[in-house]
Amino acid sequence: VPPKQRRIQPYRTLLNVALRHRIVTLLIAVAVFIGSLQLVPYIPKGLFDNGDMGFSMATVELPPGSSLSETEAVILEVNRLFQENAAVESVVATAETVNTADIFINLLPKSERELSRAEFEQQMRDVLRKIPGTRIAFRSQGAGGTAKDLSIVLKSENGELLRQTAEALERQMRQSPGLVEVTSSNSLVKPEILIEPDPARAGDLGVSVQAIARTASLALIGDIESNLAKFNLPDRQIPIRVQLDPKAREDIENLKNLRVASQDGKLVPITAVADIRLGSGPAEIERFNRFRKVSVDANLQGISLGAALDNARALPAINPLPPGVARQPQVK
């Protein structure tokens, strides 16, 4: 019977060496542990990765009050710019509302294009930025559940203080490296007609604020449904709504010619008891638990989500937050 061949047992050999040199082994273990701690700052802090799935999505948003024809013209221009890129195979655009649209960009297979999805989006941002008066942003494709990679939500009972804080945060985030396509829900404004009653003049002429508001409301939007006169037909009633012609409502001088009934039945020019001027106001007021809230969103470029959050939280606009303004935790 041939002698048994001696098997190589590296684990047993290493264990014997470690037991014979216990102090050296302990020092090596401590050095490896300390060295591994030094690598912690280099670990990516993002929970989800957008990856390259062969397509990209973008949103197009025009100012409130934009017409459908203006939105269509911008969509066609955006579609043309995407089609001119060599990495794009096809583009599909869908208008969600009168002033918003979603763009789906189907990219060529990875083997047929030189750019990754992230590089493609970075390249197109510089091109799309040349379209004036339009917000165009790429949608986040991670598992966060929001349209942007980073979202900071502020809330307050003081609308003016919330607006100022959100505007300061938006300006500072635009200057922060790694943050692109920074937008705020507070910055969307729409043109409107402001009618500001003068209580002193109205009191002298016997005109109430309610009368001023009702006169303007009837002229611009008509009366409420329950107060409308009805035209009776054999099988139904047709409400009769009386209001200014849409073209007449576009001229502020026509509104200044309105007359308001005083307490003694006389008609008083509305300009005698109120100031009428053009202005702007928020397109939408969002609330959370009865607090006014504003979200400031951004996409990331060359930076992890964790690092972006640390940079945003360190900005002077919210570090510290003004009294009366708080951050609302955003669940992603």
DSSP letters spanning 104-167 = EEEEPPGGG-SS-HHHHHHHHHHHHTTSTT-EEEEPP-STT-SSSSEEEEEEES-HHHHHHHHH
pLDDT attached to residue 248: 80
pLDDT attached to residue 47: 54
Domain 47-143 listed as CATH 3.40.30.10: no
pLDDT attached to residue 104: 93
pLDDT attached to residue 329: 66
Q: What CA–CA distances, in Å, run from 236 to 230, 231, 242?
A: 10, 9, 19
Blockwise average pLDDT, block size 10, the chain, 332 residues? 59 84 89 87 61 84 83 91 91 86 90 86 87 84 64 88 90 90 78 86 89 85 77 86 78 85 88 86 79 88 83 89 82 44
Domain 191-282 listed as CATH 3.30.2090.10: yes
Q: How far apart are CA 216 and CA 17, in angstroms?
A: 94
pLDDT attached to residue 1: 43
Q: Where are the domains of the chain?
A: 47-143, 191-282
